[in-house]
Amino acid sequence: MKKKILASKICVACLLLLFTACVERVTDPKCDVNPDCIIGFLCDFEGRCQQREPVRINSLSLPDAVVGEEGYRQAIQLVGGLEPFSWSLEIQTGADKLGWLEIDAETGELRAKAGQVPSETAQDLSLLIMVTDSSNRGNGETAEKTLKLSIVECRADVACYLPEAGVCQQGVYKCESGVLSTDCTLSGPSTDAGHCGSDCSACPEGTANRCESGECRCGSLPPCSGDLACCGSGCYDLNTEIDHCGDCDTDCREQTIHAVGVTCATGQCDFNACESGYFSCDSSKENGCETVSDLDNCSNCQDDCASTSAYPHTENPLCVDSQCNFDCTTGYGDCTADAGCETLLGTDTHCGDCNDPCDKDAAPACIVVNDQTRCGCENQSDCTADRLCCSTHTCLIHSADNCATCDDVCSPENGGKLCLGDVGSGWHCGCEADADCAISQLCCGGTCIARDDNNCTKCDTACDLTAGGLTCVGTDAIGYRCGCKTGTDCAADKLCCDETCINHDPNNCATCADVCTPAEGGSICQGNVTDGWTCGCTDATTHCDAGQLCCDGACIIPDNDNCLACA
């Protein structure tokens, strides 16, 4: 009993050791042949143990092949092994009857060779099928299996047709145990359009599409005649019928999409125009307007809104209502009917934008001011000779605010309120009338000059004694005139009183405001330039006070020498 227990312990230890070795191999697998791996693992091309059973063919049988039947195919079932596989076929019996058969070396499919079919019957022909996998570090391991294949006349009954009483009768050749009967067992009139009519031939292609009671029909009608074709249940002219254009299956209304005025002409779909937003871009009108308006085909086929060759100097392209919309790149404008932004801005003809030509006298040149492009001037050469380029960057006409130069403001102090001149003579501040000058000035020779003794009330007209005095006197408030400042400004027989030359008179006799009264010698002023002027009298009654005498031209009070009369 103890020995059995000991043996059991030893076996368990062995299994644990074996399992440990397996784990080590799988974790760090290294192998050259399959036996290097534990059971259930195969050595792959790279020398690693992969969990896979040995390769084995699992197919048990093959389906029968039929004499004269094309397309024999049969997949061979396989289990285990490592890919890729290599297949081969060895015909053990009946090689002369299986020359049409081959196996695909990569997939293992058993199949008929191209264009070949079984030609005679045979039973239980032997085939050895072999497959080699890629285990054993790529050297492979081969499995093989012998399968049986029979070639029979038939697998099922075969239809047959015989003409009888003017119609085609249908029936079958019975297939029994792979052998086909030679007698056609009839069952009634044919319904196969491929075998119909009085001679069991195929119904005429295009004019009939079904066999009814052994006779060819187009639907429920007789076969079509003339140029008409049988489509479904009726006869149609395939040259003009929209629903059956060119052939029975072509409906122009369905095929010719997004089109207006769809027609069928000479067997081809056609149309008059595309619906809005669609185009025919594939050189075929039969499928209609297949292309929707988008960025690549906007207003027509290949109208690519994003093409900078078609639309130069543009960015941010869009297709809106089948028209290309875009932004112009900086410095360009869309100024003509040509595509894109073809016009360079910042020029005298297109300055700030397309409709900003610099053709005005005031702003003839395209300039940049404060980072803004506008029409104007940068220097005097941009302006015509009769204008000034001033701080507003505008060509200004010579005016009272900008006369000879910019900011040359015309005023009486600057020669006059008007700006006068022309291109030939230049410009200066001046006047045309006294109103263009200050009140204290006269407009003389086109220039405002201060009023003086030689130009007081008129230009170049000096003040003289006949004009009221030798000096120009006055103020802006009262005006100006010829007068005097001192007596020397007047004639010798005149006085200068209140800047006016006046005659010596009873109110201004010897001097201004020297009023003649009887107390001053008389009420008249008398005298001359040589002797001077004094107050006096010529008649006591008129010129003297009562009680006075007029003696020697002066009023005196009577005294001892002149009592009742002058001495």
Q: DSSP readout, 108-142?
A: -EEEEPTT----S-EEEEEEEEEEE-STTTTT--E
Q: What is the pLDDT of residues 342-377, one digit of tens each?
A: 899 989 899 988 888 988 889 899 999 988 889 999
What tokens appear for 510 in the block? 């010897």
CB-based contact 488:500 (threshold 8 Å): no
Q: What is the pLDDT of residues 378-411, one digit of tens each?
A: 899 999 989 999 999 999 999 999 999 999 999 9
The burial of 175, by beta-carbon neighbours within 10 Å (0-12 exposed, 13-18 middle, 19 or more buried), is given as middle
Percent of the chain with pLDDT over 70: 95
CA distance 50 to 81: 10
Exposure on the CB side of residue 508, measured as CA atoms within 13 A: 15
pLDDT at 18 over 50: no
Angle, CA of 440, 442 and 446, to the nearest 5°: 140
Confidence grade of residue 10 (pLDDT, cut at 50, 70, 90):
very low
CA distance 442 to 36: 133
State the Cα torsion 181-182-184-185 to the nearest 10°. -40
pLDDT at 25 over 60: no
Give the ranges where 133-183 is alpha helix by DSSP (H): none
pLDDT at 16 over 50: no
CA quadruple 234, 239, 242, 246: dihedral sign: positive
Task: State the pLDDT at residue 29.
Answer: 64
CB-based contact 340:312 (threshold 8 Å): yes
Q: What is the pLDDT of residues 173-185, one digit of tens each?
A: 999 989 999 999 9
| Stretch 418-445: mean pLDDT | 93
CA distance 480 to 499: 11
CA distance 59 to 407: 113
Q: What is the pLDDT of residues 502-529, one digit of tens each?
A: 999 999 999 999 999 998 999 999 999 9
Q: Is the pTM of this model over 0.85?
A: no
Task: State the pLDDT at residue 85.
Answer: 97
Task: State the pLDDT at residue 209.
Answer: 92
In residues, how long is the chain?
567
Residues 6+ apart with CB under 8 A from 322: 276, 277, 293, 298, 299
pLDDT at 36 over 80: yes
pLDDT at 170 over 50: yes
Q: What is the pLDDT of residues 113-132, one digit of tens each?
A: 999 999 999 999 999 999 99
Percent of the chain with pLDDT over 90: 76
pLDDT at 450 over 60: yes
Q: What is the pLDDT of residues 261-320, one digit of tens each?
A: 999 999 999 999 999 999 999 988 889 999 999 999 999 999 999 999 999 999 999 999
Largest CA-CA distance found in the chain, in angstroms, rounded: 212
CA distance 403 to 414: 11
Cα 441 off chain centre by: 68
What letter does residue 520 receive in the DSSP assignment? G
Closest CA to 71 of 103, 104, 111, 101: 111
| Stretch 527-533: mean pLDDT | 91
Task: State the pLDDT at residue 541.
Answer: 87
Q: Are strands 65-66 and 142-152 parallel, antiparallel or unpaired?
A: parallel
Q: What is the pLDDT of residues 224-274, one digit of tens each?
A: 998 999 999 999 999 999 999 999 999 999 999 999 999 999 999 999 999
